Chain A
Amino acid sequence: MTATAAPVRVDAFGLTDPGRVRQSNEDHYVIVSLQKTVQVRQASLPDARAFDGLRGPEALLFVVADGVGGRPGGALASETAITALVEYIGQAAGCFHNLDVDREHEFLEQLERAVHQAHERVAPTAGARGYGPATTLTMATLVWPRAYLVHVGDSRAFYLRKGRLRQLTRDQTMGEYMVEAGAWTEDQARAAPRAGVLASAVGGNEMTPAVGLVDLQPGDVLLLCSDGLTKHVPDERIAQILGAAPDAERACRELVAAALAGGGSDNVTVIVARMQE
């Protein structure tokens, strides 16, 4: 998919794969283009092209959701979360038009509300014990040049600039929280069986969205992925693939291939968006 988020063209592609071990794929992703346009169907005016100026900026929405493995309905959770999210943002699509500094907080709140909406849609199926479907959710909304991020769980967002890969999100896992609190060392976290348990998940008992943003530049590459990629492919290799691939689709295919070659123990999902110069 190539879209224009003026003044750059964005080459974006997504791919998901069940991996080599799991029978089903509990990941989902979506790439959505949002735009306000005025389309003249018929006119007697000498030059109706003047209305082209009423075309609003385009926003691109990228979402990766990884249904929590081992829980019932993980695939349904990630599907439900993304559906609810896109529905909410679709209804509130006007929120990114005329987005100036005074309205930016309103916009961020809308994005957060969309995630809460997804949580409320998934959570009722958890049952009395609170142990039901849940999912990670990593969302980037690009209103050029700014990428707004809302993140829950341990999927990740990165960007590559001039060969340097930077992670935009922090994993919301038990291990990360324990290290952050000083209760575990990094080594203890690596060895702990429960380190990977999500401390925050859409549909889970805890859901704490992290919010951030980054201004992108022409030439930058945005990557969203589930942990099926990052548990098998080191950051250096991810950076190499993103830097060398001629287009977003090839980058996605090579990233997924690398995850499968590394063991493919989990579902793997990637979205790559290249800000073309």
Chain B
Amino acid sequence: MIQKKICMVGLFGTGKTSLVQRFVHSRFSERYLTTVGVKIDRKEVEVDGAGITIVLWDLAGRDGHEDITASYLRGAHGILYVADGTRRETCDQLPELRALARDAAGDVPGLLALNKADLADQWALARRDEEALARDWGLVRTSAKTGDGVEEAFQRLARATLAAKEARQ
């Protein structure tokens, strides 16, 4: 079966681990535990009739102490950038994160998961901001809590990694 390495990249506390937990194990926890190093999970999915094993690398988020370790991104087939729709700064740093990811992994497909969509009353982005992000990044609104958009985000990225492979061939 084809394996695709997908890295989860974003600032701390954006919900990267929660998205993986929702996608792989169909569960959600309110408890926040910082990821240390990389946690690896796998899930077999079917994309347009093709079976793929998605190997998810859940990277520790960038915080005030440590930046993202670029070497973890090497060999990635796709990057799921994760931002928190209730914290604008998590979007502001996306261009920097994308530059870091491109340096390490090359020009691989990426997609932005704008997470915590269930917290609509705390949303920090105006519609036009989201439209701009969608144009620039490709965007799926997600909620690890309710599951909304999670499957779609991973499916879209997995499809993009397959398309990128075909384009290279």
Q: Does A233 contact B (CB under 8 A)?
A: no
Given contacts A167-B36, A210-B39, A213-B38, 9 further A-B pairs with CB under 8 A are A104-B75, A168-B36, A180-B27, A211-B39, A211-B40, A213-B37, A214-B37, A215-B37, A215-B71
Once A212-B37, A213-B40, A214-B37 are accepted as A-B contacts, the answer to whether A101 and B27 lie under 8 Å apart by CB is no
Q: A102-124, CB under 8 A of B: which get 1 and which 0?
A: 10110010000000000000000
Give the B-binding residues of A (Cβ under 8 A).
Answer: 100-102, 104-105, 108, 146, 149, 164, 166-168, 170, 179-182, 210-215
Whole-angstrom distance between the Cβ of B93 and the nearest chain A Cβ: 22
Q: Check A212–B40 contact: CB distance below 8 A.
A: yes
Kindly provide the distance from the CB of B19 to the nearest chain A CB, expressed in whole angstroms: 15
Instruction: Return A45 CB to nearest CB of chain B, in Å.
Output: 38
Q: Is B168 part of the binding interface, using a Cβ–Cβ cutoff of 8 Å?
A: no
B45 to chain A, nearest CB (A): 16
Q: Which residues from A are CB-within-8-Å of B155?
A: none
Please list the residues of chain B having a beta carbon within 8 angstroms of any beta carbon in chain A: 3, 5, 27, 29-31, 33, 36-41, 55, 65, 69, 71-72, 74-75
Pairwise interchain contact B69-A215, C-beta atoms closer than 8 A:
yes
What's the Cα separation between A48 and B41 when bound, in Å?
A: 45
A105 and B55 contact, CB distance less than 8 A: yes
The closest CB in chain B to the CB of A102 belongs to: B75
Chain A nearest CB from B37 CB (Å) reads 3
Cross-interface CB contact of B39 among A104, A182, A212, cutoff 8 Å: A212
Give A52 Cβ to nearest chain B Cβ, in Å: 27
Distance in angstroms between the alpha carbons of A49 and B54 in the assembled complex:
44
The smallest beta-carbon distance between B68 and chain A, in angstroms, is: 11
B36–A105 CB distance below 8 A? no
Find B33's partner among A100, A104, A170 (CB 8 Å cutoff): A170
- B31's partner among A100, A101, A180, A210 (CB-CB below 8 A) is A180
Give the docked Cα–Cα distance between A168 and B38 (Å).
9
23 interchain pairs (CB within 8 A)?
A101-B74, A101-B75, A105-B3, A164-B65, A166-B36, A167-B36, A168-B36, A179-B31, A180-B29, A181-B29, A182-B30, A182-B31, A210-B39, A211-B40, A212-B39, A212-B40, A213-B38, A213-B72, A214-B36, A214-B37, A214-B38, A215-B69, A215-B71
| Shortest Cβ distance from B30 into A: residue | A182
| A179 proximity list for chain B (CB < 8 A) | 31
Closest to A214 in B: B37
Shortest CB-to-CB span from B42 to chain A, Å, is 9
Contacts of B40 in A (CB 8 A): 108, 211-213
- Chain A residues, CB < 8 A from B65: 164
- In the complex, which residues of chain A have a beta carbon less than 8 angstroms from the beta carbon of B29? 180-182
